[in-house]
Each structure stands twice: as structure tokens, then as C-alpha cells.
Amino acid sequence: MKNQRRFVLILVLVLLVVIFALQNSQPVVVNALMAHFQWPLIIVIVGSLLLGALITLLLSASSIAAARKTTARLQEEVNRLRNQPKKAKQVIETPADEDK
């Protein structure tokens, strides 16, 4: 049932994008880096959206890497702390040298 809802949602979104594209098909002039291009408005909008998504992905990649590094360091510390009671128990149960 969950997959069917997701599929219907995707179909509705695709339909909305197609309607949006058909309504914004008039050509517009884009000035970029001393060049002039004439593209349909929908291409400019979708291109800008994809460029923004790419920039966001690249900027968030460093944050994701830092979070993974922190998670790994904290997991190592948790494992170390979990092993400490075992070591303490071994020290307590080991017979002390009574000769000293």
C-alpha cells in the first residue's frame, strides 16, 4: 500500500511538472558569461533548480563527512567504555602478589 501511494504521488508530481513546462515554453534570453542564449523558460527554471541542488549537495557533503567522522569516533569511545568494566573485573579477580 505504501508503494502504491508513493507511485501515485510521483505520477501527480510528474503531471504537475509537465503542465508547468507546457505553460512556460516561451523562449527567454539568458545572459551568462558574456554570452547570450535563447532557451525555453522551463529549461532555465529546471536548470537553475538542478544547479541549486548540486551546489547544496556539494556544500552538505563536507558536513555529512564530518558527522560520520564524529560518529565513528564516538562509537569507538563507547566500545572502549563498555570494555572497561571487564578489565576492572579482571584486575579485581586476579590474585594479588602476597609476597610484596
Q: In angstroms, how far is CA 62 from the centroid of its own chain?
A: 10
Please tell me the distance from the alpha carbon of residue 23 to that of residue 19, in angstroms, as a whole number: 6
Per-residue pLDDT, 25:
81
Q: Rounded to a whole number, what is the largest CA-CA distance in the chain? A: 97
Q: What is the pTM of this model?
A: 0.52
Please tell me the distance from the alpha carbon of residue 29 to that of residue 22, in angstroms, as a whole number: 18
pLDDT in tens, 13-38: 889 888 888 888 888 998 888 888 89
Please tell me the distance from the alpha carbon of residue 37 to that of residue 11, in angstroms, as a whole number: 32
| Joined grid coordinates for residue 79 | 566500545
